[in-house]
Amino acid sequence: MSTSRALPVLRTPDLRAAHDAARRLLALAVPMDGFLVEGETTARTPAEARRLFAAFPTGRGATPWPNHPRLGYEEVRGLFDAGDPRFDGLGPLEFQAKAEPPGGFEELFLDVVGSGPGSLSWTHFFWPAVPELGLEPRAKDTHLQIAVNSRNVDFDRPSDDHTLFVHFRGGDLERARWLARQVGLEPVGPEECGW
Q: Is 179 exposed, middle or buried (0-12, 13-18, 19+ CB in 10 A)?
A: buried
Q: Could you report the per-residue pLDDT of 29-45, keeping only the tens digit for each?
A: 999 999 999 999 999 99
Structure letter (DSSP) for residue 181: H
Q: Could you report the per-residue pLDDT of 2-21, keeping only the tens digit for each?
A: 578 999 999 999 999 999 99
| Residue whose C-alpha is closest to residue 97's, from 159, 142, 51, 150 | 51
Residue type, 62: A
Weakest mean pLDDT among 14-23, 96-105, 121-130, 171-180: 96-105
Check pLDDT > 50 for residue 138. Answer: yes
Q: Can you tell me the distance from the alpha carbon of 105 to that of 16, in angstroms, rounded to the nearest whole number?
A: 14
In Å, what is the CA distance from 178 to each residue of 55, 66, 130, 148?
A: 36, 42, 8, 24
Geometric angle at alpha carbon 99, from 46 and 192, rounded to 5°: 80
Q: Could you report the per-residue pLDDT of 164-193, keeping only the tens digit for each?
A: 999 999 889 999 999 999 999 999 999 999
Structure letter (DSSP) for residue 69: S
Cα 95 from chain centre: 12
Check residue 1 and give its pLDDT: 45
Q: Which helix (H) or strand (E) holds 120?
A: strand 118-126
Weakest mean pLDDT among 14-18, 67-71, 78-82: 67-71
Give me the residue spans of the domains in the chain. Answer: 4-185
pTM for this predicted structure:
0.93
Give the residue, 17 or 65, on which the prediction is more confident: 17
Sign of CA dihedral 120, 123, 128, 133: positive
Strand duo 93-99 + 30-43: pairing? antiparallel
**What mean pLDDT value characterizes the chain?**
92
